Structure 1
Amino acid sequence: MNRLIVSTAMMFAAVLFPGGVSIRNAAAGTPVYVGQAKPQLVPMHTIDHSAWNKLLGKYVDSDGRVDYQGWHASGEDQALLDDYLQTLSTASIATDTKSTRSPRLAFWINAYNALTIKGILREYPTTSIRNHTPRLWGYHIWHDLKLHVGHQPFSLDEIEHQVLRKMGEPRIHFAIVCASIGCPRLLNEAYVPERVDEQLTANAKDFFTRRQNFRHDVAGKRFYLSAILKWFAEDFGDDQSQVLKRIAVWLPDETARRAAMDNAVSLSYLDYNWQLNAQTAR
């Protein structure tokens, strides 16, 4: 009887998750915790992101593609990532006078991206993060992979929706990366408090230079935008006019910027590519 139940469950898993789901992940959906649960805490602005910077420089190219194969093969560099996540765990989330907006932005963007990489390396080889986001049961990478910070566990969803989005900074959507080709470029350097504003603007401008994210049909008076601008439109403004004025400064040419400022275009949204943002073999 038990074999029949397991066999039936696996059959339904194959139907519901055609992208593939591991037996271990389909079993229970038990949360996976990363970092220290009860470390001694330090102010968030004192957290050192240099280890993350080193790993990004080694494994991420200028287009934001990741050498998951090489990273996965290196026990030493997987351990360095784990050590960095342990360091993030020591940050106090209590308000203090020096942990202002810039240190918090840099911290949480790095935390989101590092936790995502950790989650993908845990599942590697895989072809998409969506292979690990089941609809009904089992381990869900966005919900069940949790990073301890300041004695509290945070999932990827919680970091994105309960922390970063509440900071009122729409450029986060051009910085946090869900390990997919459709995502913004994963910057191959760590976000740091003293340059985070500059880094966010640079990545926002880069985002709109890529045809997967933005196209302007001048004759047809239409913008084709990444689905990110549809999913999170409210973070950019209350209506189309406000959204277009907000993104205008990041658009790649004066014609597009003027069309956005004048609200002189219709909007369509591009298909989102969930394939893994992995470097292609040479």
Structure 2
Amino acid sequence: MAAIKGGHANARSLPRTPLPRLSHANAHLNAHDEARLAFWINAYNAVTVRGILHESPAASIRNHTAKVFGYNIWKDLLLNVGSTDYSLNQIEHDVLRKTGEPRNHFAIVCASRSCPRLLNNAYTADQLETQLTLNTNAFFASGNHFRYDPTQRTFQLSSILEWFGEDFGPDQSARLRTIAPYLPSREAYDAATTAPASVAVTYLAYDWRLNDQSPHQ
């Protein structure tokens, strides 16, 4: 059985849950990059969903993210992999972000309405490129995450691109070129690639309310 557990004095004590493949994996084993990446995306999403279900009914994950004192789901809900505990923050910042694959941000979810869609199947090494591409395309196809006004030459981007901008490039122009292949229109693609420095960028407000929609195929 998996060992998703609280490891701090103020952590939740969660019952053991059936996630044996995650908790029995060897995090230090040499593996192909695709296999490692798929594993940690699945781990992040599984722990998040398990944590939210444990707190149900919950209006938002932010209701369980104490800043100073008390339980913080991102820090105190731990997945034991081999002999090491990993929090959601550690999986995201110390593992996934260090892979250099920015599309991770469109695969992991925090159970909020402004999060990327949650697939109803696991990420796998042999399908990872396809899955990341499809989910990134779907992310930018949604008006909740991306809007482009060709008259004003203005991009409105998800706050994810503001919070983690450095993962997409060293400056705004580089970041727009990174996401350009996944934008939903030729106009948006051209603006992001031909003269990105002349485009204005603002960021959409993030909706932290709990996403109670069904997972996507």
TM-score, normalised on structure 1? 0.70
Alignment of 1:106-145 (within 5 A): 106-145=38-77
Paired residue for 1:73?
none
Asked whether 1:169 is paired with 2:101, we answer: yes
Distance 1:34 1:259 in 2: 50
Paired residue for 1:217?
149
Distance 1:34 1:270 in 2: 37
Q: Deviations over 1:169-220 (max 9, x none)?
A: 0000000000000101111211011101110010000000101100001111
Q: What secondary structure sits across from 1:83 in the alignment? A: coil
Distance 1:101 1:246 in 2: 20
Alignment of 1:59-70 (within 5 A): none
Q: Deviations over 1:6-50 (max 9, x none)?
A: xxxxxxxxxxxxxxxxxxxxxx62354776xxxxxxxxxxxxxxx
Pick aligned residue for 2:199 from 265, 268, 280? 265
Asked whether 1:150 is paired with 2:117, we answer: no
CA contact (8 A) 2:169 2:178 kept: yes
Distance 2:170 2:29 in 1: 30
Q: Which amino acid aligns with 1:233?
A: G
- Among the aligned pairs, what percent are the same residue? 51
Q: Which amino acid aligns with 1:205?
A: N
Alignment RMSD, CA only?
1.4
CA contact (8 A) 2:159 2:206 kept: yes
Paired residue for 2:163?
231
Paired residue for 2:4?
none
Aligned length: 204
How far residue 150 of structure 1 moved from its aligned partner, in angstroms, is 1.8
Asked whether 1:88 is paired with 2:22, we answer: yes
How far residue 87 of structure 1 moved from its aligned partner, in angstroms, is 2.3
Unpaired runs of 5+ residues, structure 2, are: 1-8
How far residue 146 of structure 1 moved from its aligned partner, in angstroms, is 0.1
Paired residue for 1:207?
139
Alignment of 1:1-150 (within 5 A): 29-30=10-11, 32=13, 82-84=17-19, 86-96=20-30, 99-150=31-82
CA contact (8 A) 1:34 1:145 kept: no
Q: What secondary structure sits across from 1:181 in the alignment? A: coil
Paired residue for 2:5?
none
Runs of 4+ in 1 over 2 A off after TM superposition: 30-35
Paired residue for 1:9?
none
Distance 1:30 1:181 in 2: 25
Asked whether 1:194 is paired with 2:129, we answer: no
CA contact (8 A) 1:209 1:252 kept: yes
Q: Which amino acid aligns with 1:279?
A: Q
